[in-house]
Amino acid sequence: MNRVRTIVPLVILFILVVAGVSYAQQASKIAIINSQKAFETSVEGKRVLGQMQDRETKIKTDIQKQDDSIRLLENKLSTGRLTMTNEALLGIQADIDKKTTERKRYEEDATRDAQQFSGNLVQKIRAEMVTIIENLAKERGLELVLDVAQSGVVTFSPTVDITDEIIRRYDQSKAATPPVKK
């Protein structure tokens, strides 16, 4: 009888351990990443953001110069209406029209080029980070990695957030790679 009392709890404990292990094997391992944060806080992301801001600043400066040039011609046109010949007025108006068209084309082309430039850089970083995310997922046995910035996740435990680890590994991978000379 004492033997049965000793064996029964051990059998029950064994069954619970086996059930727990099989449940743990069935439970999905999920992680969360915030791709926006990873992009903005990684060293490479900050560098790319700086490049995009520099381009935007240059475009704005160039457009401002063109606007100033057009304004000067418009002032010249309005102040010279009474003293200039009709031909001179038409010439100035033609210059205004030409510069306005050039400005519009420049803005459209520059905007399109800047969007393409930033899109290419962001896509490159994203592809590099996805490789790191996949490697980390394999290491940790993760079955699913969700992106908070794009998936609409409502809530999650900070313990499943791998963003900081991805940033650290991405920065390390970039530090190990020599910069490409242009």
pLDDT digit string, tens, across residues 26-82: 456 888 888 889 999 999 999 999 999 999 999 999 999 999 999 999 999 999 888
Domain boundaries, the chain: 22-176
Q: Is the pLDDT of residue 21 over 60?
A: no
Lowest mean pLDDT among 15-19, 33-37, 100-104, 111-115: 15-19
pLDDT digit string, tens, across residues 69-107: 999 999 999 998 888 888 999 999 999 999 999 999 999
The pair of structure tokens assigned to 127 is 């592809």
Phi, psi of 144 (to 5 degrees): -150, 130
Residues 6+ apart with CB under 8 A from 136: 142, 162, 165, 166, 169
pTM: 0.67
Angle at 100 between CA 98 and CA 101, to 5 degrees: 65
pLDDT digit string, tens, across residues 142-157: 888 888 887 766 666 7
Q: Is the pLDDT of residue 14 over 60?
A: no
Could you give the C-alpha distances from 47 to 1, 27, 29, 77, 144, in angstroms and in order? Answer: 75, 40, 33, 45, 30
pLDDT for 80: 85
The mean per-residue pLDDT over the stretch 3-23 comes to 48
pLDDT for 1: 53
Quote the CA–CA distance of 45 and 84 in Å, as a whole number. Answer: 56
For the chain, what's the residue count?
182
pLDDT for 181: 57
Q: Which of 39, 62, 61 is nearest to 50 (CA)?
A: 39
